[in-house]
Structure 1
Amino acid sequence: MTAVRTTSVERTAARAALAVPGVSELQPSLRQSLAEAATRVRRTLGSAAPSPETGIHAERAPRTGAWHVEVRCVLDEDRRALDTARDVREGVRSAVDAYATRHGIPGPVTVVVTVTRTTGHRPSHHPGTTAP
């Protein structure tokens, strides 16, 4: 398994996850955040923003050929997190399966979705007032 293929699988998974209604962004893992911070020290001003696949980690089991994809995402609070996470899991699984099959690297695909937070406008609530 080459790094190029893994990167391509991660890119495919990122596009599929971001296409799901209710997903506002992908959230890098702590490992990815630390690597990005170290890289940022070496970058010049005006460099490109981190790629969206930083919230994705894919690997292929050497013995079984199974793909395992982890997706860390931030969701809009307008939709139920459970429904959105299920849609992300299915969309990513389907996209990675299709990509792997097209490129001759098929295998079962498992997807784990972690919702790191939700975003959106929340009505402010001040002590002594009632919420709408």
Structure 2
Amino acid sequence: MTAHHEITAHAKLVEEVATAVQGVSGVAFLRPGLADRLRSAPSRPASGTGGAPSGVRMTRPDGEGPWHVEIHVVALRHARTLDVARVVRRTVERRLDSLVPAHPAPRVTVTVTGLV
């Protein structure tokens, strides 16, 4: 597998995970990073064009083991935060299992960074 293909595949996985997280009831949005805050809305990359969502970080420390996934979300104030975090974690685990079924179960950490 070429380095470009690996980067593209990784970006696609991150995008798929971000889309799954944004569909969870109680999630307002993924936490924006500093670059997202400094960029104006019209200059932000369109979905699927390579702009990695800053609220999702996926790594594989040894290259072959399980994915380590860190999710940072802002939740809706009316939702119970613990329930939102649990559903996000299960959603990410299921989505990655459907996308890369032969790999070990991912290690998913969900942090709710704010409420709106």
Tell me the alpha carbon deviations over residues 35-93 of structure 1, each in whole angstroms, 9 at most, x when there is no partner: 874xx4xx9x9423575722100011325421011000000011100001000000011
> Residue in 1 aligned with 2:114?
117
Q: TM-score, normalised by structure 2?
A: 0.78
Q: Distance in 1 between matches of 2:10 and 2:52?
A: 15
Q: Distance in 2 between matches of 1:118 and 1:83?
A: 14
Q: Distance in 2 between matches of 1:24 and 1:52?
A: 18
Tell me the alpha carbon deviations over residues 9-32 of structure 1, each in whole angstroms, 9 at most, x when there is no partner: 11111111111100010003xxx4
Contact 1:13 / 1:96 at 8 angstroms: preserved in 2?
Answer: yes
Q: TM-score, normalised by structure 1?
A: 0.69
RMSD value, Cα: 2.6
Identity %: 29
From 11, 17, 20, the equivalent of 2:15 is: 11
Q: Secondary structure of the residue that 2:107 maps to in structure 1?
A: strand
Q: Distance in 2 between matches of 1:92 and 1:22?
A: 15
Q: Secondary structure of the residue that 2:100 maps to in structure 1?
A: helix
From 35, 44, 49, the equivalent of 1:48 is: 44
Judged with a 3 Å threshold, the aligned counterparts in structure 2 of structure 1 residues 76 and 67 are, in CA distance, closer, same or farther, namely: same
- Map 1:1-132 onto structure 2 (within 5 A): 2-28=6-32, 32-34=33-35, 37=38, 40=39, 46-48=42-44, 53-62=53-62, 64-101=64-101, 106-119=103-116
For structure 2, the 5+ residue unaligned runs are: none
For structure 1, the 5+ residue unaligned runs are: 120-132
Contact 1:6 / 1:59 at 8 angstroms: preserved in 2?
Answer: no
Q: Which amino acid aligns with 1:33?
A: L
Q: Secondary structure of the residue that 2:43 maps to in structure 1?
A: coil
Contact 1:100 / 1:107 at 8 angstroms: preserved in 2?
Answer: no
Q: Secondary structure of the residue that 1:57 maps to in structure 2?
A: strand
Q: Which amino acid aligns with 2:99?
A: Y
